[in-house]
Structure 1
Amino acid sequence: MSERKLDLGWLRIFEAVGRLGSLTGAGAELGLSQPAVSYQIRRIEEQVGAPLISRMHRGCKLTTAGETLFRAVHGGLERIDDAARQVRASLSSPVMRIFTDYGFASFWLMPRVAEFRRLHPGIDVHVVASQGLEGAFDGTSDAAILFGRRADFPGEARLLMPERVVPVCSAGYRARYGPFDDPRSLSRQPLLHLDTVGKPRWLTWTTWLAVQGVEREPAQGDLGLNTYGFVIQAALSEQGIALGWIGLVDAHLAGGSLVAVGPEVRRDDCGYWLVTTGEGNERRKALSDWLLSQPQ
Structure 2
Amino acid sequence: MAERLLDLGWVRIFEAVGRLGSLTAAAHELGLSQPAVSYTVRNLERQLGTPLLERGHRGSTLSPAGERLHRAASAAVAELDAGARAIRRMSRRPVVRLFTDYGFASFWMMPRVAQFRLVHPDTEVHIIASAAADPGTDEAEDVAVLFGTQSDFGAGATQLFEECVYPVCSPHFAARHGLTDDPRAIVGLPLLHLDSTPHPRWFVWSDWFAAMHVAREPGPGDLSLNTYGLVVQAAIADQGVALGWAGLIDGAIADGTLVAAGPALSRAESGYWMRPGREPSAPALDLIEWIIGDVRR
TM-score using structure 2 length: 0.67
Question: How does 1:63-82 map onto structure 2 within 5 Å?
Answer: none
Residue aligning to 1:202: 202
Q: How far is the alpha carbon of 1:287 from its aligned partner?
A: 1.3
- Supply the distance in 1 between the matched residues of 2:257 and 2:201 (Cα, whole angstroms): 27
- Report the residue type matching 1:195 in the other structure: D
Q: Which moved more, 1:120-129 or 1:278-287?
A: 278-287
Residue aligning to 1:223: 223
Contact 1:99 1:128 in 2 (8 A): yes
Distance 1:103 1:210, change over 3 A: same
SS, match of residue 107 in structure 1: helix
Distance 1:198 1:90, change over 3 A: farther
Residue aligning to 2:7: none
Residue aligning to 1:275: 275
* RMSD of aligned alpha carbons: 2.2
Residue aligning to 1:295: 295
- Supply the distance in 2 between the matched residues of 1:171 and 1:280 (Cα, whole angstroms): 44
- Report the residue type matching 2:110 in the other structure: M
Q: Percent identity?
A: 48
Q: How far is the alpha carbon of 1:131 from its aligned partner?
A: 1.4
Q: How far is the alpha carbon of 1:135 from its aligned partner?
A: 9.8
- Report the residue type matching 2:216 in the other structure: R
Q: How far is the alpha carbon of 1:173 from its aligned partner?
A: 0.4
- Report the residue type matching 2:131 in the other structure: Q
Question: How does 1:89-100 map onto structure 2 within 5 Å?
Answer: 91-100=91-100
Q: How far is the alpha carbon of 1:134 from its aligned partner?
A: 6.0
Contact 2:162 2:269 in 1 (8 A): yes
- Supply the distance in 2 between the matched residues of 1:91 and 1:226 (Cα, whole angstroms): 40
Residue aligning to 2:12: none
Structure with the greater alpha carbon radius of gyration:
1
Residue aligning to 1:182: 182
Residue aligning to 1:249: 249
Question: How does 1:88-127 map onto structure 2 within 5 Å?
Answer: 88=88, 91-127=91-127
- Supply the distance in 2 between the matched residues of 1:101 and 1:133 (Cα, whole angstroms): 5
Gaps of 5+ in 2: 1-35, 37-86
Q: How far is the alpha carbon of 1:137 from its aligned partner?
A: 4.5
- Supply the distance in 1 between the matched residues of 2:143 and 2:199 (Cα, whole angstroms): 24
SS, match of residue 185 in structure 2: helix
- Supply the distance in 1 between the matched residues of 2:136 and 2:93 (Cα, whole angstroms): 23
Contact 2:193 2:204 in 1 (8 A): yes
Distance 1:245 1:141, change over 3 A: same
Distance 1:294 1:212, change over 3 A: same
- Supply the distance in 1 between the matched residues of 2:161 and 2:96 (Cα, whole angstroms): 21
Q: Does 1:235 align with 2:235?
A: yes
Q: How far is the alpha carbon of 1:122 from its aligned partner?
A: 1.5
- Supply the distance in 2 between the matched residues of 1:190 and 1:135 (Cα, whole angstroms): 31
SS, match of residue 295 in structure 2: coil
Q: How far is the alpha carbon of 1:88 from its aligned partner?
A: 4.9
- Supply the distance in 2 between the matched residues of 1:161 and 1:235 (Cα, whole angstroms): 22
Q: How far is the alpha carbon of 1:234 from its aligned partner?
A: 0.4
Q: Which moved more, 1:94-103 or 1:137-146?
A: 137-146
**CA deviations over 1:268-289 (Å, ceiling 9, x no partner):** 1111000111214322221111
Q: Which moved more, 1:195-204 or 1:264-273?
A: 195-204
Residue aligning to 1:12: none
Q: Which moved more, 1:259-268 or 1:181-190?
A: 181-190
**CA deviations over 1:154-192 (Å, ceiling 9, x no partner):** 221110111111100001001111233511121211000
**CA deviations over 1:119-161 (Å, ceiling 9, x no partner):** 1111111001001236975452101000011111222111011
Contact 2:160 2:295 in 1 (8 A): no
Contact 2:133 2:147 in 1 (8 A): no
Q: Does 1:260 align with 2:257?
A: no
TM-score using structure 1 length: 0.67
